[in-house]
């Protein structure tokens, strides 16, 4: 009697990277970004395996990005982060040069801030945007949330009665509380009622499910079907989760919001480069202009260091730091 013995084939390198990223609970966007940069790094060096390479190859790739592709310092640092993750977390290679590798310095630039008049014109231009896109855009300015924080908002984290929103797992893995604008409370109530109808339809169709963070899906297997865990701004159509191939209702795409903000800025005649994040900058600046202290704004934005929030003080006053030009004194 013969027995067939099959040895398990070792996983491909990129599959190992995916496994490690998911083990560490990194976001899907981070997974896609890291995989893309690692692919480019390997292809640039003619498909050599990373264990055969070192500091010279990493430096050559980063130099290529800067001198030939003319990427920004933040993009170059993003590529470096992906490569360091590959060596430290996946290959577990102890290379002394990793610790001494210097990141390119990001130039310190003032944030783009819209005036109150420009914000009014922008929001007016988004009145034709399909819901809930228009509501999301208003929330970005009214709460100071980042775009991904808004589209990933869960039902349980919207407090209509207390007029507050709990931002879970923000940048740096921190939670914080921000306000729910009084002017948006009724619109949010109406939207949640519509969203509840979708949830009930999903139950009937047997498609009620939502992605859950960390190990919550194992600890509470029924949580993904509960109303409180559903995305507030869910997509109209179902989609396939690339991590486990399950069919579920995901949140709306952030690119939709980005497109409508850009269109609205053009329609409003705003010449400044405007994105959803510009509304967060405008929120912070206008709050400071209204007389609120810097620490309060820091908490609302979720900044770890008040120095990060202090940059908005540079765009507070009119003109150069609020100084009256001598020409105006003539």
Is 312 assigned a catalytic role?
Answer: yes
Strands across the sheet containing 176-179: 158-159, 164-167, 176-179
- Set 171, 225, 262, 263: catalytic member: 171
Helix (H, G, I), strand (E, B) or coil at 135: helix
- Set 146, 195, 248, 281: catalytic member: 146
In sequence order, what are the residues at sequence separation of 6 or more whose Cβ sits closer than 8 angstroms to the Cβ of residue 204?
Answer: none
Is 162 assigned a catalytic role?
Answer: no
Q: Which two tokens stand for residue 261?
A: 């903000």
- H-assigned helices in 153-207: 185-205
Distance CA 200, CA 205 (A): 9
How many CB atoms are closer than 10 A to CB 213? 13
Nearest alpha-carbon partner for 298 in 150, 144, 77: 144
Is 146 assigned a catalytic role?
Answer: yes
b/e burial code for range 249-267 (CB count within 10 A of at least 16 → b)? bbbbebebbeebbeebbee
Is 64 assigned a catalytic role?
Answer: no
- H-assigned helices in the chain: 13-23, 28-44, 55-67, 73-85, 96-100, 116-125, 133-143, 147-151, 185-205, 216-219, 254-267, 276-289, 294-301, 306-310
- Set 45, 156, 262, 277: catalytic member: 277
- Set 152, 195, 280, 281: catalytic member: 280
Q: Which helix (H) or strand (E) holds 176?
A: strand 176-179
Gap between the terminal Cα atoms of the chain: 106
Is 26 assigned a catalytic role?
Answer: no
- H-assigned helices in 144-184: 147-151
Distance CA 123, CA 111 (A): 20
Is 70 assigned a catalytic role?
Answer: no
Distance CA 107, CA 125 (A): 33
- Residue 165 pairs in a beta bridge with 158, 178
Residues annotated as catalytic are 146, 171, 277, 280, 303, 312
């Amino acid at each position: 009697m013969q027995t067939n013995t099959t040895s398990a084939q070792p996983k491909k390198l990129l599959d190992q990277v995916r496994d490690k990223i998911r083990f560490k609970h990194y976001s899907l966007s981070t997974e896609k970004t890291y995989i893309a940069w690692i692919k480019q790094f390997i292809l640039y060096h003619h498909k050599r395996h990373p264990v055969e390479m070192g500091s010279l190859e990493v430096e050559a790739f980063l130099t290529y990005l800067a001198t030939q592709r003319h990427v920004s310092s933040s993009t170059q640092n993003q590529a470096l982060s992906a490569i360091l993750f590959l060596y430290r977390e996946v290959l577990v290679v102890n290379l002394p040069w990793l610790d001494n590798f210097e990141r390119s310095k990001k130039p310190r630039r003032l944030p783009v801030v819209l005036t109150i008049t420009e914000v009014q014109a922008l929001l007016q231009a988004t009145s034709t945007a399909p819901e809930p896109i228009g509501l999301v855009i208003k929330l970005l300015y009214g709460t100071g949330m980042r775009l991904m924080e808004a589209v990933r908002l869960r039902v349980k984290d919207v407090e209509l009665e207390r007029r507050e929103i709990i931002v879970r797992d923000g940048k740096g893995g921190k939670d914080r509380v921000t306000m729910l604008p009084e002017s948006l409370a009724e619109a949010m109530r109406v939207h949640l009622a519509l969203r509840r109808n979708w949830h009930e339809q999903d139950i009937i169709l047997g498609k009620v499910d939502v992605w859950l963070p960390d190990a919550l899906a194992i600890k509470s297997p029924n949580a993904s079907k509960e109303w409180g865990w559903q995305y507030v701004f869910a997509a109209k159509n179902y989609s396939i989760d690339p991590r486990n191939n399950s069919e579920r209702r995901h949140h709306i795409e952030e690119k939709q919001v980005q497109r409508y903000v850009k269109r609205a800025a053009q329609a409003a005649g705003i010449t400044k480069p405007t994105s959803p994040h510009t509304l967060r900058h405008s929120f912070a600046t206008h709050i400071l202009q209204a007389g609120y202290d810097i620490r309060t704004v820091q908490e609302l934005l979720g900044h770890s260091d008040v120095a990060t929030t202090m940059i908005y003080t540079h765009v507070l006053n009119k003109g150069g730091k609020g100084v009256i030009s001598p020409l105006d004194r003539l």
